[in-house]
Structures are given as C-alpha cells and as structure tokens.
Amino acid sequence: MSASTVDFVAAIRTIPDYPKPGIMFRDITTLLASPETFRAAVDAMVAPYKDEGVALVAGIEARGFILGGALSHQLSAGFVPIRKKGKLPHETIRVAYSLEYGVDEMEMHRDAVAPGTRVLLTDDLIATGGTAEGAVKLLRELGAEIVGACFVIDLPELGGRKRLEDLGVSVKTLVAFAGH
C-alpha cells in the first residue's frame, strides 16, 4: 500500500471534548495500529528528506518518539529525544514553551547534537506550535541545522505551521483538520 492510496484522515480517530470541552482530539494510535497505514505514513514523512543528509531525527515526547524512531530507521539517522523536564539522566538544556492550555518546560541532553548537525524534527501534530517552537529553540541552542519539521497532522487554524515557518523552518504534514 503506497502513501498515495492511503486515506490518512480515515485512519485517525477523533475524540470530541477531550481533554476538555470544545476540543476535537486527533488520536493517531489507530493509524499506528495498522501496519500498512503506519508504514505508508512513515514512507510519506521520509520521502521529502531522503536526499537531505539528515544525521539525526529529534522526536518530541511522546508520540514523536514513535514516529522519530521509525523515521530515523528509514533515513539511517540517529534519534534524539526531546523530553518533558526532569526525565533525562544526564546534563541537559531546557526551554519553557507555551501550550494551548498553559506553560511547560522541555529539555534535551546538552551533548545530544553537535554544532552543524542536520536535524529533522518530528511529532504527531502541530497545533499552536508552542511545543515545536520550543524544540527548535533547543536544537538551535546546540547549533543544529534544522532541515525541516514533519508531522502527521496540522491544525492550520491554530497557526503552528506559520509560527515555525516564521522561524525559517520548513514544515510538512500528511493531513490537515479544521478546528481544534
């Protein structure tokens, strides 16, 4: 099954009023559970970057770890986790970022990325872009050259794609959903 024949929208479960009333939660676990659909999604996400010299894939906790591992494998690249504060055992750098529902912090190991390393950023969804923007700031603090950012889902009305593009980061997504 090729990415062009897969209905990724149909493979994503929508849960109304989660985690709070008025939010339509886009759940990729149904996409991940289907071997054919998961494979097609990974193939489609990797395609634009096959010849871009990606050395590392940085995945944002937690679904970005699942996607990041698969993308890293397909690109023959390493994987770097970007985690919530307090989850990494070695010396870290940290950034505060805004969420749709508040503020949080994320971190990565200080020695995870050498200056000039070509890095692809990934997560399941881009909404307001606060988390992804925080990840970009961490990667750039270490001197990474960000090749792009790829996500399964874009919620364009929330402006996250534009927020990253305003930082000079190219964004690719498989599907877009209206609303929140």
Question: In terms of Cα–Cα distance, which of 55, 96, 99, 63 is closest to 81?
Answer: 63
Three-class SS state of 144: coil
Q: φ, ψ for residue 91 (rounded to 5)?
A: -60, 130
What six digits make up the tokens of 6?
């897969």
Say which of 26, 63, 83, 163 is annotated catalytic: 63
Q: 26 catalytic, yes or no?
A: no
Say which of 39, 61, 100, 140 is annotated catalytic: 100
Q: 63 catalytic, yes or no?
A: yes
- Pairing mode of beta strands 118-126, 145-154: parallel
Q: How far apart are CA 57 and CA 111, in angstroms?
A: 15
Active site residues: 63, 100
